[in-house]
């Protein structure tokens, strides 16, 4: 579930175009349904494909090549229409990069005035060049890289989500909200020491609750021993680790920020 949570950091890049009179609940509902339904649909398809590799030798062989080959093999019974569907899915992956690339360009411009002076178009092209080069270099080990990177993205997303949620619900509402006119005034903006401290401590919680191929945090080690094939056991440990990180980040952020 790390992927949809990661959009919380860039959602404001798109909601800024909404009318100021937009209902908060309506925006929340549309966002939750859009991300939730799309994620559930993709996860169910992934479960079906993964289960199929256990009983279908052709699917298993395709899966050893790549996830894309597995999808194409699953569409084989549909003939020419199946190939068309495979192309549509491939193009959908490309279009899925558009929102992230747009937000990345804004992220570059937020680094400082010198970065803001560069037009967003060039930052967008720069971002495309970066992830294209990385994709070409890591194409032979894409799945392993993606699996490890997705976990790291989940750690960051949980911490960012908790920081923003507490800032909005516990502090800003009690202090009159945000001063939107001072968004680009360095003298009126906080230094961010509380957020930085809580973020770093949150990473301590992430390491404590981590359960990955490259490292296992202490919160997992004494409780449960899982075999590599027991997906339910591994899932339980991973969820427990993420809950540990969430509690640590939430608690420390509240103490530091208050």
CA distance linking residue 107 with residue 10, whole number of Å: 9
The arithmetic mean of pLDDT across residues 33-58, rounded, is 86
Report the candidate in 213, 187, 175, 198 with the shortest Cα–Cα distance to residue 245. 198
pLDDT tens profile 186-226: 788 777 788 788 888 878 877 777 766 667 766 655 554 54
**Which tokens is 32 given?**
């939750």
pLDDT tens profile 78-112: 888 988 988 888 888 788 788 888 888 888 888 87
Total Cβ atoms within 10 A of residue 205: 25
Q: How far lies 246's CA from each of 102, 199, 236, in Å?
A: 28, 11, 15
CA distance linking residue 156 with residue 7, whole number of Å: 12
pLDDT tens profile 138-169: 777 766 777 767 777 777 777 777 788 888 88
Q: 67-74 and 24-55 helices cross at what angle (nearest 10)?
A: 80
Through-space distance between the first and last CA atoms of the chain, rounded to whole angstroms: 30
CA distance linking residue 221 with residue 211, whole number of Å: 9
Q: What pTM was estimated for this model as a whole?
A: 0.64
């Amino acid at each position: 579930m790390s992927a949809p949570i990661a959009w919380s950091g860039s959602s404001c890049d798109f909601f800024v175009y909404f009318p100021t009179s937009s209902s908060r609940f309506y925006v929340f509902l549309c966002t939750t349904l859009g991300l939730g339904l799309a994620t559930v649909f993709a996860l169910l398809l992934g479960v079906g494909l993964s289960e199929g590799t256990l009983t279908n030798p052709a699917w298993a062989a395709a899966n050893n090549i790549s996830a894309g080959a597995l999808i194409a093999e699953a569409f084989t019974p549909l003939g020419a229409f199946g190939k068309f569907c495979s192309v549509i899915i491939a193009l959908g992956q490309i279009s899925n990069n558009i929102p992230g690339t747009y937000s990345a360009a804004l992220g570059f411009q937020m680094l400082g005035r010198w970065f803001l002076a560069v037009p967003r178009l060039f930052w967008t092209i720069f971002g495309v060049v970066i992830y294209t080069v990385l994709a070409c270099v890591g194409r032979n080990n894409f799945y392993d890289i993606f699996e490890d990177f997705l976990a790291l993205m989940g750690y960051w997303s949980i911490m960012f989500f908790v920081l923003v949620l507490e800032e909005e619900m516990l502090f800003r509402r009690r202090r009159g909200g945000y001063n939107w006119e001072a968004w680009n005034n360095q003298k009126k903006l906080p230094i961010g020491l509380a957020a930085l401290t809580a973020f770093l401590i949150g990473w301590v919680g992430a390491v404590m609750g981590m359960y990955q191929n490259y490292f296992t945090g202490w919160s997992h080690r004494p409780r449960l021993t899982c075999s590599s094939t027991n997906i339910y056991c591994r899932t339980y440990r991973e969820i427990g680790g993420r809950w540990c990180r969430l509690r640590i980040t939430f608690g420390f952020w509240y103490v530091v920020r208050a």
